[in-house]
């Protein structure tokens, strides 16, 4: 099964841009899914809360834009801000210094990222802030014990 079959491009996008080649539409859709996974995977996996902080402006900027008949279109906006994968709970603001909060409604984009992304890219998502010279030991963890410890 190819990547496109797992999560097909929304019909609303292909209907709005009928003259866009299939290759470009797939490229933009993959970029959108990759950015969405980049900003939701780590908080979703590491936090026990349903609400997670989400950088809307950063996601929009990371998705970039494309030109369609001379007009610049935002990939983030054209696919829909979250495209049903996430739901905005509170909108953040630079003035109030509050972050946007979302709930992840559909985890298919996370599974897609795990299936198609390079393992090093996923590793860097979680451990990019660690120094390469940091020594570490591999330890097996009993999930039940860890859950009880956290509680």
5-9, 52-56, 106-110: which has the highest mean pLDDT? 52-56
Q: Is residue 28 part of a domain?
A: yes
- Residue 73: name the closest of 19, 127, 1, 117 by CA: 19
Q: Is residue 140 part of a domain?
A: no
Q: Is residue 123 part of a domain?
A: yes
Task: State the average pLDDT over residues 129-140.
Answer: 71
Helix segments in 64-142, DSSP class H: 75-79, 108-116, 119-127
Give the number of domains in the chain: 1
More confident residue, 29 or 117: 29
Per the CB < 8 A criterion, the answer to whether 40 and 104 are in contact is yes
- Residue 85: name the closest of 26, 34, 23, 22 by CA: 34
Q: What is the pLDDT of residue 24?
A: 93
Q: What is the pLDDT of residue 132?
A: 65
**pTM to 2 decimals?**
0.70
Range of the domain at 53: 3-129
Q: Is residue 147 part of a domain?
A: no
- Assess whether pLDDT exceeds 60 at residue 23: yes
More confident residue, 58 or 132: 58
Q: Is residue 45 part of a domain?
A: yes
* Band of pLDDT at residue 39, cut at 50, 70 and 90: confident
Q: Is residue 143 part of a domain?
A: no
C-alpha pair distances (Å), 78 with each of 10, 13, 26, 32, 37: 10, 7, 13, 10, 17
Q: What is the pLDDT of residue 1?
A: 38
Q: Is residue 134 part of a domain?
A: no
Phi-psi region of 50 (alpha: psi -120 to 50; beta: other; left: phi over 0): alpha
* Band of pLDDT at residue 84, cut at 50, 70 and 90: confident
* Band of pLDDT at residue 3, cut at 50, 70 and 90: very low
More confident residue, 62 or 95: 62
Q: What is the pLDDT of residue 80?
A: 79
DSSP class of residue 49? S
Q: Is residue 136 part of a domain?
A: no
Reported for 3-6, long-range contacts at CB under 8 A and 24+ positions apart, including other chains, are 3/30, 3/112, 3/115, 3/116, 4/29, 6/108, 6/111, 6/112, 6/115
């Amino acid at each position: 099964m190819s990547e496109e079959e797992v999560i097909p491009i929304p019909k609303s996008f292909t209907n709005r841009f009928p003259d866009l080649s299939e290759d470009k539409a797939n490229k933009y859709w993959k970029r959108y899914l990759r950015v969405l996974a980049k900003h939701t995977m780590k908080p979703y996996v590491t936090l026990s809360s349903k609400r997670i902080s989400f950088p809307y402006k950063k996601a929009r900027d990371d998705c970039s834009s494309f030109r369609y008949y001379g007009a610049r279109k935002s990939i983030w906006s054209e696919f829909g801000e979250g495209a049903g994968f996430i739901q905005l709970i509170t909108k953040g603001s630079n003035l109030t210094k509050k972050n946007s909060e979302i709930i992840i409604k559909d985890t298919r984009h996370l599974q897609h990222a795990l299936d198609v992304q390079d393992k090093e890219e996923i590793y860097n998502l979680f451990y990019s802030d660690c120094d390469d010279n940091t020594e570490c030991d591999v330890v097996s963890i009993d999930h039940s014990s860890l859950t009880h410890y956290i509680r």
